[in-house]
Structure 1
């Protein structure tokens, strides 16, 4: 079982509010920290090593764009969707869930572009400590974001017993 499957399995039958709190503290707060640091590290690497052929051009700008998109996404979840889901699954949640799923796909595209820019997160043998920290941070962020998306798509946005979003989660608890 992958880490994202293990994480999802532990939350399937729990209350939505507890899962939402976990997502906020484990992923939203962490992504904000990660991306700020990754953008800073990437700007340093590009400034110091930008003349090297193996220095990924545009990495800092791509990370900054990911940071902006992810921040906008997380704010929509925090201000609109999560309050709806914490109260159950009213029909009003279906539209925001559809938007969040679409944005999750866009985050996946951004991760694929990140892999392309970093050549699969390849690190030169003679990379400095900052460059090594950047690539380690990218690997951690990538895994965290994939787990975050899987947890929302596979658990939070679904009913406890089916693949579709129920109209009222409480009605599905039996």
Structure 2
């Protein structure tokens, strides 16, 4: 008797990490169309795309941690943000995000910047909906990953130098990070 191995029997650490770009483009454009049909305003579309991204992000954190880090999770904020900027971005888009900055006048905000998000590349929008930023999907992924890693926040995608993801952490996250920094001195 030959034992067949199904997809659930295969190791997560050795899975194929690439997807055909045209397949992604078709699938994602259908996701955007689906969101547009069920929304009345551009904000509704953004919220819907962000919700779809959250369901991806919460699952992606475990998969990427297992594949790349042997299931070791970051417990400090800055290393977690760097993990998303580099490892997660490479896993999702084949390259690192362009830039990560802390907002100088608000220590609870960080900016993750990407000049040309892949999710906006293959989307054509009607004139009345040109303000839609499909990167709201990616904002949902980021938000879900950070929340699952115990860094509650809100992430929004804005048009600025490409797309800028504004990550605003809850006050207690920054206070916890400050206490950790003080105890390590």
Report the TM-score when normalising by structure 1: 0.28
The structure that is helix-richer by fraction is 1
- Taking structure 2 as the reference length, the TM-score comes to 0.27
Which structure's residues are more often strand, by fraction?
2
